[in-house]
Each structure stands twice: as C-alpha cells, then as structure tokens.
Amino acid sequence: MSKHIISHSYQVAKKDRVQSNKHNSFLMWFTGLSGSGKSTIANLVEKALFEQGIKTYSLDGDNIRKGINKDLSFAPEDRTENIRRIAEVSNLMIDGGLVVLAAFVSPYKKDRENIRTIVKDVNFVEIYINTSLEECERRDVKGLYKKARAGEIKNMTGISAPYEAPDQPDIEIKTELESIDDSVKRIVDFITPKLQLNNG
C-alpha cells in the first residue's frame, strides 16, 4: 500500500513557519510516574513560553485518550501504540512550527527511544520528572493508586506494571527537592538556546 502513497510538495515549509514564528520548533517530552507533577510543570512551562510569544501546544493523556487514542487500553502493546501516535502527531506539530509539550507516563525506554527516532534527536528534549512512588502515592491526585492497590486498576505503572527511568535525560527534575518555580525556570533556561534561530 505504501508504494502508492506519494507525498505532495507544499510551497510553505517548516523553515518558513519557524522564520515566521521567530523561533525553532521541537518536542519537550515530560516522563514520570502518575502524580509526579508532569502536567503541572508542563503547564507552567508552556505559560512561561507563551508569555514570551512562543507558539506552543500541550498534549497530555486527557486530550489524547479522549480523542485520537480513545480506542487504546493500558496494556503494554497499547501503551506502545499510544506513544507512537503521540510522537507522530508531535512530529506534524513540529513541522507546523510549534513547540510541543507532551506529558505522559511513557514507562518504557524503547517507546521513548522510538519518539526520538520519529521526531529526530535534534527535535527531542527528554525531561524526567523524578518523584518517588511513595510521594506519588501520598499525593494520589486522581485516586488511581488507591484503586490500583485495591485491584480495581490493572497495569498501573509503579504498582502492577514497571516504570523504566531514563538513563540520561536532558533534564531531571526532583520534585521532592526543588520547588515548582525553580523547576520551571530550570527547564525554560535549558531550552531557551534551542529556541534561537540560526540565520547564519
């Protein structure tokens, strides 16, 4: 089937979009346990970028699993497909000139490596929100850990399914040791050079 698919050549390209936006486009991927603070931090990073005039879009479990991925479960193979689709959507948004912020548990290293392959290494920033299971359970913002402990939720990362922490993330945020404000500033400072266009 793929041999019959021929890409159409459009007159407006990614380079034109980033020039128009006056900044580069790439993907910031927030990974960590449920309740670690991924979405909270990603939301505040996006707000800080938006206030600087950066064109952004956030992807998270709610806006993905209620729409494009509503047919997927939390079984390992469906988690892999969930992440693959998010990576492909992110890749289109990068081509559209946006800075994409994606906050997903994404527990498997192979899936996160696949994201890097899809969007290309230069467009991928891995941010590990490192919060202990004990702290995530204490917070239990959505009540998921309590349900998992009671056997009501299967394949719960950290309880009945594994989480494979990144070996060398671009940024590691230890939420139990630093404030949210400090974490956000550290992330924004890290990606600021990446936003700059090289017009030379």
CA dihedral 93, 94, 96, 102 (to 10 degrees): 30
Is residue 136 within 8 Å of residue 158, measured between CB atoms? yes
Tokens of 88: 């492909």
- CA–CA distance, 198 with 24 (Å, rounded to integer): 9
Tokens of 1: 């089937």
106 is annotated as an active-site residue: yes
Going from the C-alpha of 119 to that of each of 28, 86, 90, 111, the distances in angstroms are: 11, 11, 7, 13
- Amino acid in the structure at residue 194: K
Choice among 106, 160, 179, 183 that is catalytic? 106
Element (H, E) at 173: strand 171-174
Which of these, 40, 150, 146, 50, lies nearest to 103 by C-alpha position? Answer: 40
Catalytic positions: 106
